[in-house]
Amino acid sequence: MNLLALETATDCCSVALLTEAGVLEDHRLAPRQHAALILPMIEGLLARAGLARTALDVIAFGRGPGAFTGLRIAAGVAQGLALGLDRPVVAVSTLAAMAQASGHERVLAAFDARLGEVYFGGYMRGDDGLVTAVVADGLASPGAVALPPAGWRGRGVGPGWAAHGEALHARLGAHVEAVEPDVWPRAGALAQLAAAAHARGEAGSADQALPVYLRDRVTHGG
């Protein structure tokens, strides 16, 4: 299977290609440059792999939550490719992709949602090496994020911990083992989760390639 994964919900523009040979990834911290970068990045990966677009079997994208503009870019490109190639689409949580990319067993993933809020989710890695949600993705003030189960401890990852670390620590207390704010969602990690979802029969049609905003209000530049 040849699976293309796109993740543009944060300041990072990330593209990955999963094939039988492994995963190729182009990951760049490039705020507000996603629209200009994403198509050349896709073509670059296909060229490196020696594949034409028509060789793609599945298109995956980070569905969010995240920046409004970034979410539209990944969803729009995924939808366009899937329509043009008549291929299925898999949508993956951006917070799950960040937790998967962290490499840790238990993760409290957060990034800044502006307006004094964070996007937040809790994840645990299974025996298959893939993360699943323990705390559902949500949007809240740092002092009101949903708590993990009693006794559950994980590592805080993502830029939300740099922006709201003190308030998140105050809320989560003993649930936090350590913090790594420099972890970002990566398309390579997203591709792993998407491949498993596709194997479970969770792919949809191109018109189902819709982002998850979690917020009705749209911030400037978001």
Regarding whether 76 and 27 lie in a shared domain, the answer is yes
Question: Do 83 and 111 sit in the same domain of this protein?
Answer: no
Q: Give 215's pLDDT tier (boundaries 50, 70, 90).
A: confident
Residue 222, pLDDT > 70, answer no
Q: Under a CB-based contact definition with an 8 Å cutoff, are residues 181 and 165 in contact?
A: yes
Packing angle of the helix pair 94-102, 187-199 (nearest 10 deg): 110
Pairing between β-strand 22-29 and β-strand 12-19 as defined by DSSP bridges = antiparallel
Could you report the per-residue pLDDT of 15-67, keeping only the tens digit for each? 999 999 999 999 999 999 999 999 999 999 999 999 999 999 999 999 999 99
Confidence of residue 216 (pLDDT cuts 50, 70, 90): low
pLDDT at position 219 is: 43
Query: What is the predicted pLDDT for the residue at 220?
Result: 37
- pLDDT tens, 7-28? 999 999 999 999 999 999 999 9
Q: pLDDT, tens digit, for every residue of 69-85?
A: 999 999 999 999 999 99
Q: Which residues contact 222 (CB under 8 A, 6 or more apart)?
A: 67, 68, 69, 114
Query: Across residues 112-133, what is the average pLDDT?
Result: 97
Phi and psi dihedrals of 18, rounded to 5?
Answer: -100, 125
What is the distance between the terminal CA atoms of the chain, rounded to a whole angstrom?
A: 34
pLDDT digits (tens, 9 = 90+) for 142-177: 999 999 999 999 999 999 999 999 999 999 999 999
- Predicted pLDDT of residue 108: 98
Q: Does 65 lie in the same domain as 26?
A: yes
> Are 47 and 102 part of one and the same domain?
no
SS3 labels along 37-98: HHHHHHHHHHHHHCCCHHHCCEEEEEEECCCHHHHHHHHHHHHHHHHHHCCCEEEEEHHHHH
Residue 126, helix vs strand vs coil: coil
Higher pLDDT, residue 215 or 220: 215
Q: Do residue 7 and residue 71 come from a single domain?
A: yes
Mean pLDDT of the chain: 95
Domain of 126, in residue numbers: 95-180
> Are residues 126 and 174 both part of a single domain?
yes
196 occurs within a structural domain: yes
- CATH code assigned at 80: 3.30.420.40
150 shares its domain with 199: no
pLDDT for the residue 208: 87
Residues 73, 126: one domain? no
When computed from its CA atoms, the radius of gyration of the chain, rounded to whole angstroms, is 17
